[in-house]
Structure 1
Amino acid sequence: MSNFGLRTWDENANLSMDTGTFTYQVIWRGVIDFSGAVPSYTISIPGFNPANCVFTIIPTRAQDVQSSETDGSGNAKSYPYVIPSVGQVVVLPKNPSSSASTLQTRIVAMGYAIRYST
């Protein structure tokens, strides 16, 4: 076992990820800002493939993190909806199947595209 890295376990205490067993590379990172009137982002990411890549979003402002499940600002602090495909990621401010009256997210976050291999 290595002295560094990240290990995670599932609810049954089975090791589900060990960064000592694969390599990963950040292939894109940037700001995802829905605090204004941005309708969506279409991000071209050469080398991105959902078969061996993930896209993750991490809020950058404390005000964008819900304080609890009963926080009344729910959708305004929700994570954007991500549609990954080969070579690009589309990030929407709400689920495309939501009604027109559904509030969209207003968060500012960092987005990361990560490629991994075993």
Structure 2
Amino acid sequence: MALFGLRVFNESGQLAMDTNSFTYQVIWQGVIDFSGTVPSYTISIPGFNPANCVFMIIPTRAQDVQSSEADGNGNSKSYPFVTTSSGQVVVLKKNPSASATTIGSTVVAKGYAIRFSI
């Protein structure tokens, strides 16, 4: 019998996650665009719970991928700062504890909120 899906193993080689043993649902998706003047996003996501949900950001433009650690534009290509709470995700251009002179992210990315259950 053929198996299909995703399997993730931990550093000890033990199975840590198997799509045959849990289900997931995309409960929100949208564009996170920091290429302009938008300082932050506060996204209301009904059903989002940090205990059984994740929020991930995937770049959509090649120019937003840092070429190396020596890339001088590293901060502008960094991923935005994300905080989650029940029903809400907040995405900021930079860490709130960063100095005023710190360059914020300028990436354009796709954001996904995913709920999973075992």
Shorter-chain TM-score category? over 0.9
- Matched residues in 2 for 1:77 and 1:105: separation? 6
Structure 1 residue 2 displacement after superposition: 6.2
> Who is 2:12 aligned against?
12
RMSD of equivalent CA atoms: 1.2
Q: Judge conservation of contact 1:2–1:20 (CA < 8 Å) in 2.
A: no
Gaps of 5+ in 1: none
> Who is 2:98 aligned against?
98
- Matched residues in 1 for 2:30 and 2:2: separation? 31
TM-score (norm. length: structure 1): 0.96
Structure 1 residue 112 displacement after superposition: 0.1
TM-score (norm. length: structure 2): 0.96
Gaps of 5+ in 2: none
**Residue deviations 1:79-106, cap 9 Å, x none?**
0000000001000010111111110000
Structure 1 residue 45 displacement after superposition: 0.2
Q: Kindly report which structure 2 residues correspond to 1:1-118, keeping only aligned pairs within 5 A, or say none.
A: 3-118=3-118
Q: How many residues align?
A: 118
- Matched residues in 1 for 2:53 and 2:36: separation? 29
Q: Judge conservation of contact 1:48–1:86 (CA < 8 Å) in 2.
A: yes
